[in-house]
Amino acid sequence: MLTKLNRKHAGFTLVEIMIVVAIIALLAAIAVPGFLRARKRSQASKILNDLRMIDAAVDQYAIETNRTTGNTVAITDWTNYVKKGSILYNTGTNLFGTSYGQQTVDTIPQVNASDYAILSDVAGPGFWSPYGP
């Protein structure tokens, strides 16, 4: 019985636990803005790649249907020339739900102004060239 009372209990003190929690909070405060910036940058890259695919799809459509410069291409026409089953193929919209709309042959598609405003802090005009405003 006496041996049970004299036995030392090993463990962490409240101060030690609080220091660990503070260090974790500090690391999280440093890392979260970087993750959010990387997320926005990847969204901008997705939209830029969509614009490139739309440009190629409109060109392919124009070649196969003998369309000339200035002809308008409906959403249902150019979406047939992108990967089937993709969001772009199914809806003709970007990840924010903004429609890319009809396109014009030999005209470079442009990023939507509202999407540009959302992403402008991580993707300036040089990022969007030649698809930017």
CA distance readout (Å), 30 to 42, 60, 76, 88, 121: 20, 46, 45, 35, 19
- Give domain status of residue 3, yes or no: no
Give the range of the structural domain holding residue 53, as residue numbers without chain letter.
16-128
Q: What is the DSSP letter of 7?
A: P
Number of domains in the chain: 1
* Pair of tokens at residue 105: 């042959």
Report the distance separating Cα 92 and Cα 86, nearest Å. Answer: 9
- Give domain status of residue 92, yes or no: yes
In angstroms, how far is the first alpha carbon of the chain from the final one?
A: 82
- Give domain status of residue 5, yes or no: no
Burial group, residue 29, by CB count within 10 angstroms (0-12, 13-18, 19+): exposed
To which residue do tokens 């803005």 refer? Answer: 33
Q: Tell me what pLDDT residue 7 has.
A: 64
- Give domain status of residue 118, yes or no: yes
Q: What is the DSSP letter of 80?
A: G
- Give domain status of residue 4, yes or no: no
pLDDT tens string, the chain, 133 residues long: the values are 555 656 677 788 999 999 999 999 999 999 999 999 999 999 999 999 999 999 999 999 999 999 999 999 999 999 999 999 988 999 999 999 999 999 999 999 999 999 999 999 998 889 999 988 7
- Give domain status of residue 11, yes or no: no
- Give domain status of residue 69, yes or no: yes
Q: Tell me what pLDDT residue 96 has.
A: 92
Handedness of CA 59, 62, 66, 70 (dihedral sign): negative
- Give domain status of residue 6, yes or no: no
